[in-house]
Amino acid sequence: MSEGMTGGCLCGKVRYKIEGQLLMQAVCHCRNCQKQAGSAWSMITGVPETALEVTGTVKTYEDHGDSGGTVLRQFCPDCGSPLFSRVGSAPGLVFVKAGTLDDTTSFKPQVQVWTRSKQHWVELGDLPGFETNPG
């Protein structure tokens, strides 16, 4: 993905811009991401906090992963679109929900995580996977 990506929520009250290169692109199959996304997985891109500029107000839900660690899930308080996750074990990094990018054509996941909880019918081909977090 290239520099200067933009995105936002369904209603448009929260917008964001990412400057610089993404650090990672992944698909997460954990049960909490499935529930939060209302889907079989969550498409995420990792960016440094300093590369993300947000306009509008997000609401934060404090979640806890299987490890017990904190996951701050941020979403639009008006339309409910999930936008960002901030994980206690990855300070300074923001996981942007890739489905909220204005242009998703460059999204190419490099890895899938939490495959032990993926839906039984999901097959992502040769995409490398980890049963939990890769560490």
* pLDDT per position as a tens digit, 45-81: 999 999 999 999 999 999 997 777 889 999 999 999 9
The reported pLDDT for the residue numbered 89 is: 82
The reported pLDDT for the residue numbered 121 is: 92
71 by Cβ neighbours in 10 Å (0-12 / 13-18 / 19+) ranks as buried
Q: Report which DSSP code applies to 36.
A: H
Pairing verdict, β 15-18 and 70-75: unpaired
The reported pLDDT for the residue numbered 135 is: 67
The reported pLDDT for the residue numbered 1 is: 39
Report d(CA 135, CA 131) in Å as an integer.
Answer: 11
**Which parts of the chain register pLDDT below 70?**
1-3, 135
Q: How far is CA 27 from CA 12, 14, 79, 80, in A?
A: 24, 23, 23, 21
Q: Report which DSSP code applies to 101.
A: B
Helical (H) or strand (E) element with 17: strand 15-18
pTM above 0.75, yes or no: yes
